[in-house]
Amino acid sequence: MKTSLKDIAEELRLSKTTVSWVLSGRGNERGISQATQDRVKQCARRMNYQPNLLARSLNTGVSSTIGLILPSISDSFYSQVAREVEMEAERHGYSLMICSSESEGERENRMIRMFRAKQVDGIILAPTKISKTEIRQLVDDAFPLVVFDRYFSELKTHYIIIDNEQSSYRLVSHLIERGARRIAIVTTNPHLTTMDQRRAGYARALTEAGLPVDPDLYGEAAFVGYEENVFRALDRIFAKAPDVDGFFFTTHILALEAFRYFHGRRIDINDGYGLACIHEVPAMSVLAPAMNVARMPVGEIGRNAVRMLLGDIRNRGGLSRSADREFESLVLPCELCFRD
Amino acid sequence: MKTSLKDIAEELRLSKTTVSWVLSGRGNERGISQATQDRVKQCARRMNYQPNLLARSLNTGVSSTIGLILPSISDSFYSQVAREVEMEAERHGYSLMICSSESEGERENRMIRMFRAKQVDGIILAPTKISKTEIRQLVDDAFPLVVFDRYFSELKTHYIIIDNEQSSYRLVSHLIERGARRIAIVTTNPHLTTMDQRRAGYARALTEAGLPVDPDLYGEAAFVGYEENVFRALDRIFAKAPDVDGFFFTTHILALEAFRYFHGRRIDINDGYGLACIHEVPAMSVLAPAMNVARMPVGEIGRNAVRMLLGDIRNRGGLSRSADREFESLVLPCELCFRD
DNA sequence: CTGAAAGCGCTTACAG
DNA sequence: CTGAAAGCGCTTACAG
């Protein structure tokens, strides 16, 4: 049998109150005699007492748990963020429930409801942006929430994103400096602000350099079945713009898939092409030593998300749903690595 | 304010009992009039009622939550398993708490205690094998537990591993068939059974083919700081055995690091070397099209872990700590992809 | 210095 | 057909 406070109290012929004070470390504060404290602690150890945190949470209204919802746990970017969030949360005494929305709006809604029902103290979320009914509900209820990677301009939330436009701009500008004139962009889901901003940065770099933004150099690969889509997009680019001399990939996944394409088509990408990509994976430095990358600040994202969320959690009830709540928006710069 | 059963009961001048029956879907079973049921459901919707699952769990002793402890969430193998576990758990109405032990024994112990305190119904664990005090406690308490990736021969638990010896044997045998005679092994943490078995498979393949197991062809890279360690190990192999004509990497991480080495040393690994590796990452097929790989059955691992665990959870109390409990040990085969 | 009691929000025998 | 009551395992005013 599991031992409870009551068991210890009965064993020692004390009240649950006393046992509770001692075990929660507030024995001195309550002026409980050292002798009693020792007896209680020893008995707890002997009976291998472990507090039931569910009961504590039900009583205090605090679960010391935060919920993290990711579009995909197995994606390297999100799993790195998850790691940072977990470490930082643990440092503050919080543990983590993790769910994957699989980029499905309805799943995301379900996860949010589930987390609330399980009484998490707050939620960190990389939204799918497909359906936001439950997110809106969180906002309305002033539920502690931090959104990252993507955000909603029309919703009042804390959010953390990277400087998509600026990083893209600088990467592409670098390619231009290095002599590229016909730079293709390979991107995905353009309806996401993230991707839209990256495309905008690409366009600005070209325009500022007096280069045209040529639709023939635009490659789009829908996320579902992106393997073939990347191939198709690249085939189209090479057909319509055989003079292409640079590639800007808006995600690491697209870049990796492109490498497979180049390899299959026997194109030596490391010769005569300017290359740039958002987010880095270990293999990249071998696959394309000359690839210029914008490194996602996963540590900053994770740590800041937890910091913001805990700030909100502490303030709960205080400001609560007042309209003049302060929302922090963080636009983190990527670290740019120029390699060619 | 959050609405509770009591709020609905008062609003409708019913008892909490009635409301509870209706909302838990057992209204008909309890013979509650349709009219009342409708009123309750409508009221719940109107007041945006969400049950407090903590309270339910405290009452029923079931949290419908399972804990997953991984050596590292951001490693592609573990994060893929996490994804499978989450999907399968969700299918059965369970949610997931995830922690990373960072391969530290004490951290692992802390995580286990925390999960128990938070009343998870069971734990799935890829152990660090460093300190196992809490794991032993789980076993003693007949706490639902499934161990994967590594296991303890001296501990009675369910476990899931892959056929490390056999897969390694077949990979290396394949290299031999293809003509390699001086095959090096690059491995890590030899005290882990996993790695030991892989080394054993390598040795058996050589021995059966009448080839010597040459210490000069043995490369070991400790996990901490493995970047430099891999480099050092490979330098040593090339120095002592310049006639090396094949490489067997016991993990994808080692292989990726080795590619960086080869690239730095300007060695064309795709020419004249037999290559094999356990676990596959997307980049590999581009980096080394001729790499033979054993694919980890992440789906099988995840699904079976959940299945075994749920079996245990259902039986709790029944067999409980009886010594004649049945333990399932699953040795899953890897899918072998021969590419050269 | 210690304890009796109420309460967190549910579920579930038991009673009528 | 519906309800009063006890209990899950804690915490915490309040009292003495």
pLDDT tens digits for range A249-302 = 999 989 988 988 888 888 888 888 999 999 988 788 778 888 999 999 999 999
Residue type, A336: L
Distance, CA of B41 to CA of B189 (rounded, Å): 58
Q: What pLDDT score was predicted for residue A33? A: 83
Q: Which of A18-22, B127-131, B134-138 is predicted least confidently?
A: B127-131
Q: What pLDDT score was predicted for residue B219? A: 93
Per-residue pLDDT reduced to its tens digit, B157-191: 999 999 999 999 999 999 999 999 999 999 998 88
The reply to whether residue A50 touches residue B76, judged by beta carbons under 8 angstroms, is: no
> Is there contact between A17 and strand C, defined as CB under 7 Å from any strand atom?
yes
CA distances (Å), A173 to each of A165, A177, A213, B77, in order?
A: 12, 6, 13, 36
Q: How many Å lie between the alpha carbon of B126 and the closest alpha carbon of chain A?
A: 16
Distance, CA of B115 to CA of A216 (rounded, Å): 55
Are A186 and A247 a contacting pair, CB within 8 Å?
Answer: yes
- For A205-223, what is the mean pLDDT? 93
> Is there contact between A16 and strand C, defined as CB under 7 Å from any strand atom?
yes
Confidence of residue B317 (pLDDT cuts 50, 70, 90): low
Q: What percent of chain A has pLDDT over 70?
A: 97
> Is there contact between A317 and strand C, defined as CB under 7 Å from any strand atom?
no
Q: Which residues of A181-210 are buried (b: 16+ CB within 10 A; e: fewer)?
A: ebbbbbbbbeebbbbbbbbebbbbbbeeee
- For B144-166, what is the mean pLDDT? 92
Q: Which nucleotide is nearest to B3 (CA to C1')?
A: C9
Please write down the HEC assignment for all residues of chain A.
Answer: CCCCHHHHHHHHCCCHHHHHHHHCCCCCCCCCCHHHHHHHHHHHHHCCCCCCHHHHHHHHCCCCEEEEEECCCCCHHHHHHHHHHHHHHHHCCCEEEEEECCCCHHHHHHHHHHHHHCCCCEEEECCCCCCCHHHHHHHHCCCCEEEECCCCCCCCCEEEEECHHHHHHHHHHHHHHCCCCCEEEEECCCCCHHHHHHHHHHHHHHHHCCCCCCHHHEEECCCCCHHHHHHHHHHHHHHHCCCCCEEEECCHHHHHHHHHHHHHCCCCCCCCCEEEEECCCCCHHHHCCCCEEEECCHHHHHHHHHHHHHHHHHHCCCCCCCCCCCCCEEEECCEEECCC
> Is there contact between B133 and strand C, defined as CB under 7 Å from any strand atom?
no
The reply to whether residue B99 touches residue A100, judged by beta carbons under 8 angstroms, is: no
Q: What pLDDT score was predicted for residue A19? A: 86
Are B172 and B198 a contacting pair, CB within 8 Å?
Answer: no
Q: What pLDDT score was predicted for residue A249? A: 96
Does A52 reach chain B within 8 Å, measured CB to CB? yes
- For B270-284, what is the mean pLDDT? 88
Q: Which residues contact A197 (CB under 8 A, 6 or more apart)?
A: A164, A165, A168
**Topology agreement, domain A5-51 and domain A65-162+299-333:** no
- In strand C, the nucleotides that come within 7 Å of a protein beta carbon are 1-13
The fold for domain B63-162+299-333 equals: Rossmann fold (3.40.50)
Domain boundaries, chain A: 5-51, 65-162+299-333, 164-295
Q: Identify the H or E element spanning B99.
A: strand B95-100
> Is there contact between A33 and strand C, defined as CB under 7 Å from any strand atom?
yes
Q: Which nucleotide is nearest to B31 (CA to C1')?
A: D1
Strand, helix or coil at B69?
A: strand
Interface test with B, best of A73, A253, A279, A281 (most B CBs within 10 A): A73
Number of Cβ within a 10 Å radius of residue B336? 15
Q: Which of A94-103, A144-153, A245-254, A322-331 is predicted least confidently?
A: A322-331
Q: How many Å lie between the alpha carbon of B206 and the closest alpha carbon of chain A?
A: 30
Does A73 reach chain B within 8 Å, measured CB to CB? yes
Whether residue B224 is predicted with pLDDT greater than 80 in this model: the reply is no
Residue B334 is encoded by which pair of tokens? 């890897």
Residue numbers in A near B53 (CB within 8 A): 117-119
Q: Which residue is nearest to nucleotide D3 (CA to C1')?
A: B15
A·B CB contacts under 8 A: 128
Are A190 and A203 a contacting pair, CB within 8 Å?
Answer: no
More confident residue, A18 or A207: A207
> Is there contact between B52 and strand C, defined as CB under 7 Å from any strand atom?
yes
Distance, CA of A256 to CA of A277 (rounded, Å): 10
**CATH tag for A164-295 (out of 3.40.50.2300, 3.30.70.1230, 3.40.800.20, 3.40.640.10):** 3.40.50.2300
Residue B238 is encoded by which pair of tokens? 């090339």
The reply to whether residue B97 touches residue A100, judged by beta carbons under 8 angstroms, is: no
Are A116 and A60 a contacting pair, CB within 8 Å?
Answer: no
Does A74 reach chain B within 8 Å, measured CB to CB? yes
Confidence of residue B1 (pLDDT cuts 50, 70, 90): low
CATH number of the domain at A65-162+299-333, please? 3.40.50.2300
CA-wise closest residue to A281 among A71, A77, A73 = A77
> Is there contact between A64 and strand D, defined as CB under 7 Å from any strand atom?
no
Whether residue B215 is predicted with pLDDT greater than 90 in this model: the reply is yes
Q: What pLDDT score was predicted for residue A336? A: 95
Q: Is B28 exposed, middle or buried (0-12, 13-18, 19+ CB in 10 A)?
A: exposed
Distance, CA of A122 to CA of A95 (rounded, Å): 11
> Is there contact between A62 and strand D, defined as CB under 7 Å from any strand atom?
no
Q: What pLDDT score was predicted for residue A317? A: 54
> Is there contact between B4 and strand C, defined as CB under 7 Å from any strand atom?
yes
The reply to whether residue A113 touches residue B52, judged by beta carbons under 8 angstroms, is: no
Q: Which nucleotide is nearest to A50 (CA to C1')?
A: D9
User: Best-predicted range by mean pLDDT among A13-27, A45-59, A318-332, B261-275?
Assistant: A45-59
Q: What pLDDT score was predicted for residue A298? A: 95
The reply to whether residue A97 touches residue B96, judged by beta carbons under 8 angstroms, is: yes
Does A24 reach chain B within 8 Å, measured CB to CB? no
Length of chain B: 340
Q: What pLDDT score was predicted for residue A160? A: 96
The reply to whether residue B118 touches residue A54, judged by beta carbons under 8 angstroms, is: yes
Does A62 reach chain B within 8 Å, measured CB to CB? no
Provide the H-helix boundaries in chain B: 5-12, 16-23, 34-46, 53-60, 76-91, 105-117, 133-140, 164-177, 193-208, 226-240, 252-264, 284-287, 298-315
Whether residue B335 is predicted with pLDDT greater than 70 in this model: the reply is yes
Q: Which of A321-330, B114-123, B221-230 is predicted least confidently?
A: A321-330
**CATH tag for B5-51 (out of 2.60.40, 3.30.160, 3.30.70, 1.10.260):** 1.10.260
Q: How many Å lie between the alpha carbon of A160 and the closest alpha carbon of chain B?
A: 20
Q: What pLDDT score was predicted for residue B123? A: 96
Q: What percent of chain B has pLDDT over 90?
A: 62
Whether residue B203 is predicted with pLDDT greater than 80 in this model: the reply is yes
More confident residue, B213 or B33: B213
Q: How many Å lie between the alpha carbon of B96 and the closest alpha carbon of chain A?
A: 6
Distance, CA of A288 to CA of A276 (rounded, Å): 10
- For B37-53, what is the mean pLDDT? 88
Q: What pLDDT score was predicted for residue B324? A: 59
- In strand D, the nucleotides that come within 7 Å of a protein beta carbon are 1-13
Closest alpha carbon within chain A to B321 = A1
Does B286 reach chain A within 8 Å, measured CB to CB? yes
Q: Which residues contact B4 (CB under 8 A, 6 or more apart)?
A: B49, B52
Residue A227 is encoded by which pair of tokens? 């393997």
Distance, CA of B172 to CA of B184 (rounded, Å): 10
- For B280-302, what is the mean pLDDT? 89
Q: Taking all residues of chain A, what is their mean pLDDT, rounded to a whole number?
A: 90
Distance, CA of A158 to CA of B162 (rounded, Å): 44
Confidence of residue B223 (pLDDT cuts 50, 70, 90): confident
Whether residue B323 is predicted with pLDDT greater than 80 in this model: the reply is no
- For A170-191, what is the mean pLDDT? 93
> Is there contact between B15 and strand D, defined as CB under 7 Å from any strand atom?
yes
